[in-house]
C-alpha cells in the first residue's frame, strides 16, 4: 500500500468536498467511496489493499492498461519541455502537429483533418457547431436538426446530454436543447425479440427515415450514433442496422456522425467501430482511448466532405477550446497510438481475445439468471432476467444489477451495471488467462446474486 491516510479518513475528506459525477451525494456520504490508489496492467488496488480486476478499463478508456512506461515518459518529457501553449493565434506545437500526422495511419480512409478538445462531450459540442456551420456555408441554414437515438450516450454538456437519449438526463434542466430529436435504438433483445435480429435492425433504422420525412430532409443536418452503444448497456446492433442507416443518410444527403468515444482505438477489433460495421461516416467523435485515459484528450475526425467546405469556403470558424491541441495530451496520444500499433492491439482483439471473450460469454448463457449475452471485440454484456425462457425482466425497482455489481466489487472484479445488464470492457492488453479469471469471477457473482434474489423471493 502506498496510501498516507486510512480509508475512512480519505472517505470523510472525499464526501466533505468532492461532488462526484452522476452521484447521489447524500447516499455516497453515508457509505463512503471506494478509494482507488494504484493500477498496473488490468488491475487496480484500493486503499484497503484489495486487488481488483478492472473489467471496465477505468471508464472504457484505459485501452493500453495501467502503468505503461512509454505514456508516462511521453507526458514527463513534454511537461518538462513545454507544458502548455495554445493553438489560437496562428501558433501551434510539435505534439499537436505530430498527432495530426499520425492519426491518418489509423483512421478510416478519407480522414485527414482533426479538431481537438479535451473530452467526448466537448467533441460532440464541436460536432453540433460544425455540422450547422457546414450547412450554413452550403447555403442551407435550415438544416439545423440533429437526430440521435433513445438510450444513446454522447456526453453531459448541454449539447452532449441533449444528443444523448437518456430520459433521466433530459428530466433535469430543460433538455434537450432545441433541434435535437431521437429515434429508436437497435436493441433487439429488449424491443425486437418477436422478429429476427436482421428484420429488427431494418425496423429500428426505418425510424430514422420516418423521422426525416416527418421533419423534412431540408431541416435535418446530421444523424449521430455509437457503433455499439456503450453507456446504454453494450447494445450490439443487428448486422443489417448500420448499412441501412448509411443508405438513409445518403438518400437524404444527411451527415453521419459516428461517436467512437468508446468504440475507437481498437475496442471493437478494428481501429474504429464504423470499420467493424462497414460504415463510412462523415465525422468521427473520439476521446478516452486516444490517450488510454492517461490524460484528457478528445476531438473530431473531419472527413473530406466537411473538411473541404470548412477549409475552402469557411473563413473563421468561431469555435475552440483553451486546450484544443494541448501539447502534453497530444504527446501522450502519439505515444499511445504508437504503443497500440507496436502491440498489434487491433489484431490481438480481433483475432484472439475478442473471439475468446465471445465464446466464454456464450457459456454464461447456461446460468439460471442469464437471458442473453452479447459481445463485440472487447465489449460484453450479460442480461440478467427473472425468467430465462420468456426473457421476462425483473421489476426495475428491484435493482438486481446493483446487487450483482456489489458482489463483483467484493470479489475483486469491476463490472458495470446498466439496469440488470452487467457489462465489461476490459483493457485491450488482457490475455486469455485473464479473461478466464474475469469469467470465473463473473459466474461466482451471478451465483451470489441468484442466491440473494431467491432469498428475497424475487426469482
Ligand atoms: N460519447 C460517448 C459514446 C461516450 O461513451 C461521451 C461521448 C462523453 O465523453 P466525456 O469524455 O465527456 O465523458 C461518452 C462518455 C458510463 C459512462 O457510465 C460512459 C461515459 C462517460 C461516463 C460514464 O458508462 N461515456
Instruction: Compute the distance between CA of residue 390 and CA of residue 409 in angstroms, rounded to an integer.
Output: 30
Per-chain mean pLDDT for the chain: 97
- Which helix or strand (DSSP H or E) is residue 221 part of? strand 220-225
- CB-count burial class (<10 Å; 0-12, 13-18, 19+) for 357: buried
290 in the same domain as 235: yes
List the single range of 313-317, 353-357, 403-407 with lowest mean pLDDT: 313-317
Q: How far is the CA of 120 from the centre of ligand 1 (A)?
A: 7
**Inside any domain, residue 188:** yes
- pLDDT of 275 strictly over 70: yes
Q: Give the closest residue to 81 by CA, choosing from 100, 102, 69, 95.
A: 95
In a domain? residue 15: no
User: Does residue 414 form part of some domain?
Assistant: yes
Last residue of some domain: 287, 315, 342? 342
Q: Which domain-ending residue is among 282, 312, 342?
A: 342
> Per the domain annotation, does 336 fall within a domain?
yes
pLDDT at 24: 94
CATH number of the domain to which 313 belongs: 3.40.640.10
Q: Is 151 in the pocket of ligand 1 (CB under 6 A)?
A: no
pLDDT tens by residue, 13-24: 999 999 999 999
Q: What is the pLDDT of residue 100?
A: 98
Atom of ligand 1 lying closest to residue 231 CA: 24
Mean pLDDT of 349-362: 98
d(CA 196, CA 240): 11
Those residues whose C-beta lies under 8 Å from the C-beta of residue 50, and which sit 6 or more positions away, are 412
- Residue 211: which H helix or E strand, with range? helix 197-215
Here the CATH number for the domain that contains residue 379 is 3.90.1150.10
Enter the C-alpha cell of residue 37.
490508489
Q: What is the 3-state secondary structure (H, E, C) of 227-290?
A: CCECCCCCECCCCCHHHHHHHHHHHCCCEEEEECCCCCCCCCCCCCHHHHCCCCCCEEEECHHH
Examine residue 26 and state whether it is found in any structural domain, yes or no. no
Q: What is the spatial distance between Cα 282 and Cα 196, in angstroms, rounded to a whole number? A: 30
What is the CA(6)–ligand 1 centre distance, in A? 31
How would DSSP label each residue in 122-161? HHHHHHHHHHHHHHHHTT-TT--EEEEETT----SSHHHH
Q: Are residues 294 and 319 in the same domain?
A: yes
Cell of residue 366, nine digits: 447456461
Q: Please say if the pLDDT value at position 3 is more than 80.
A: no
Nearest-atom number in ligand 1 for the CA of 287 is 11
46: Cβ below 6 Å to ligand 1? no
Question: Is 420 within a domain?
Answer: yes
Q: How much is the CA Rg of the chain, to the nearest whole Å? A: 22
Which among 152, 230, 300 is the best mutation to test ligand 1's pocket, defined by most ligand atoms within 8 Å of the CB? 230
Considering the domain boundaries, does residue 329 fall inside one? yes
Q: State in Å: Cα 446 to ligand 1 middle.
A: 26
CA of 169 to the centre of ligand 1 (A): 13
Q: Looking at the 3D structure of the chain, how many domains does it have?
A: 2
As beta bridge partners, residue 370 has: 384
Per-residue pLDDT, averaged over 294-318, amounts to 97
Q: What is the model's pLDDT at position 358?
A: 98
Whether residues 362 and 288 share a domain: the answer is: no
Pick from 170, 55, 51: nearest CA to 417: 55
pLDDT band at 396 (very low <50, low <70, confident <90, very high): confident
**Which of 58, 59, 419 maximizes ligand 1 atoms within 8 Å of its Cβ, making it the mutation to test the pocket?**
59
Same domain (yes/no): 294, 392: no
Distance CA 167, CA 184 (A): 13
User: What tens digit of pLDDT does each residue of 52-106 get?
Assistant: 999 999 999 999 999 999 999 999 999 999 999 999 999 999 999 999 999 999 9
Task: Tell me the per-residue pLDDT of 135-188, one tens digit each, with 9 for 90 and over.
Answer: 999 999 999 999 999 999 999 999 999 999 999 999 998 999 999 999 999 999
Residue 5 CB coordination number (10 Å): 12
Backbone angles phi, psi at 404, to 5 degrees: -65, -40
Inter-residue contact 262 to 34 (CB < 8 Å): no
The protein residue with its alpha carbon nearest to ligand 1, atom 20, reads: 231
- Domain annotation covers residue 404: yes
Give yes or no: residues 49 and 97 share one domain: no
Confidence of residue 314 (pLDDT cuts 50, 70, 90): confident
Do 38 and 84 share a structural domain?
no
- Closest ligand 1 atom, CA of 122? 12
Q: What's residue 78's pLDDT?
A: 98
Does 274 share its domain with 423? Answer: no
- Specify the pLDDT at position 346: 98
The domain containing residue 40 runs over which residues? Answer: 34-64+344-455
59 lines ligand 1 (CB under 6 A): yes
289 lines ligand 1 (CB under 6 A): no
pLDDT tens string 365-389: 999 999 999 999 999 999 999 999 9
Question: The whole model's pTM is what?
Answer: 0.98
The predicted pLDDT at position 1 comes to 52
Q: Please check whether residues 210 and 234 belong to one and the same domain.
A: yes
Does one domain contain both 110 and 214?
yes
Q: Given 318, 342, 366, which residue is the final one in a domain?
A: 342
- Tell me the C-alpha distance between 290 and 273, whole Å: 14
Task: Please tell me the distance between residue 155's alpha carbon and the centre of ligand 1 in angstroms.
Answer: 5
Same domain assignment for residues 383 and 334:
no
State the maximum Cα–Cα separation within the chain, in Å, rounded to a whole number.
Answer: 67
CA of 18 to the centre of ligand 1 (A): 20
Residue 120 confidence (pLDDT): 98
- Average pLDDT estimate for 399-404: 96
The Cα–Cα gap between 90 and 92 comes to: 7
Q: Look at residue 2 and tell me whether its pLDDT is greater than 70.
A: no
Which tens digits make up the pLDDT trace of 212-247? Answer: 999 999 999 999 999 999 999 999 999 999 999 999
Could you tell me if 143 and 228 lie in one domain? yes
Closest to 334 (Cα-Cα) out of 15, 59, 74: 74
**pLDDT higher at 434 or 397:** 434
Ligand 1 mutation pick, 117, 148, 262, 415, max ligand atoms within 8 A of CB = 262
| Residue 117 β-bridge partners | 298
Give the residue-averaged pLDDT of 446-459.
96
Whether the CB-CB separation of 118 and 155 falls below 8 Å is answered with: no
> In terms of domains, do 49 and 103 share one?
no
Amino acid at each position: 500500500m502506498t496510501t498516507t491516510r486510512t480509508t475512512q479518513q480519505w472517505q470523510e475528506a472525499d464526501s466533505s468536498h468532492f461532488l462526484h459525477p452522476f452521484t447521489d451525494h447524500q447516499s455516497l456520504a453515508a457509505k463512503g467511496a471506494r478509494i482507488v490508489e494504484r493500477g498496473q496492467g488490468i488491475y487496480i488496488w484500493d486503499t484497503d489493499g484489495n486487488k481488483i480486476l478492472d473489467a471496465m478499463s477505468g471508464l472504457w478508456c484505459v485501452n493500453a492498461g495501467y502503468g505503461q512506461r512509454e505514456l508516462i515518459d511521453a507526458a514527463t518529457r513534454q511537461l518538462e519541455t513545454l507544458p502548455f501553449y495554445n493553438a489560437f493565434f496562428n501558433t501551434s506545437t510539435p505534439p499537436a502537429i505530430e498527432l495530426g500526422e499520425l492519426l491518418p495511419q489509423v483512421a478510416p480512409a478519407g480522414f485527414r483533418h482533426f479538431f481537438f478538445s479535451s473530452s467526448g462531450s466537448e467533441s460532440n459540442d464541436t460536432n453540433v457547431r460544425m455540422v450547422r456551420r457546414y450547412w450554413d456555408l452550403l447555403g442551407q441554414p435550415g438544416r439545423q436538426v440533429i437526430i440521435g437515438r433513445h438510450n444513446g450516450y454522447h456526453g453531459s454538456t448541454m449539447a452532449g446530454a441533449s444528443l444523448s437519449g437518456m430520459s433521466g438526463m433530459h428530466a433535469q434542466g430543460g433538455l434537450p436543447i432545441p433541434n435535437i430529436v431521437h429515434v429508436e435504438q437497435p436493441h433487439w433483445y429488449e424491443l425486437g425479440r418477436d422478429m429476427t435480429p436482421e428484420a429488427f435492425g431494418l425496423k429500428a433504422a426505418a425510424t430514422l427515415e420516418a423521422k426525416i420525412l416527418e421533419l423534412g430532409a431540408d431541416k435535418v443536418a446530421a444523424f449521430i450514433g455509437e457503433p455499439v452503444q456503450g453507456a446504454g448497456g453494450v447494445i450490439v446492433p443487428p448486422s443489417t442496422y448500420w448499412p441501412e442507416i448509411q443508405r438513409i443518410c445518403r438518400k437524404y444527403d444527411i451527415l453521419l456522425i459516428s461517436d467512437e468515444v468508446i468504440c475507437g482505438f481498437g475496442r471493437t477489433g478494428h481501429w474504429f467501430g464504423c470499420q467493424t460495421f462497414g460504415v463510412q461516416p462523415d465525422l468521427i467523435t473520439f476521446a478516452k482511448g486516444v490517450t488510454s485515459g492517461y490524460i484528457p484528450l478528445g476531438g473530431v475526425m473531419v472527413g473530406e466532405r466537411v473538411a473541404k467546405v470548412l477549409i475552402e469556403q469557411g473563413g473563421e470558424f468561431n469555435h475552440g477550446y483553451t486546450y484544443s491541441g494541448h501539447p502534453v495530451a497530444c504527446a501522450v496520444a502519439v505515444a499511445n497510438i504508437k504503443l497500440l500499433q507496436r502491440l498489434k492491439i487491433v489484431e490481438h482483439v480481433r483475432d484472439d481475445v475478442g473471439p475468446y471473450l465471445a465464446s466464454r460469454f456464450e457459456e454464461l448463457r447456461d446460468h439460471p439468471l442469464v437471458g442473453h449475452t452479447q459481445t463485440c471485440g472487447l465489449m460484453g454484456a450479460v442480461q440478467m432476467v427473472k425468467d430465462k425462457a420468456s426473457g421476462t425482466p425483473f421489476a426495475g425497482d428491484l435493482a438486481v444489477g446493483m446487487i450483482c455489481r456489489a458482489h463483483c466489487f467484493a470479489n475483486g472484479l469491476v463490472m458495470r451495471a446498466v439496469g440488470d445488464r452487467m457489462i465489461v470492457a476490459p483493457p485491450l492488453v488482457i490475455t486469455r488467462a485473464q479473461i478466464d479469471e474475469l469469467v470465473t469471477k463473473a459466474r461466482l457473482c451471478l451465483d451470489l446474486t441468484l442466491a440473494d434474489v431467491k432469498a428475497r423471493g424475487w426469482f
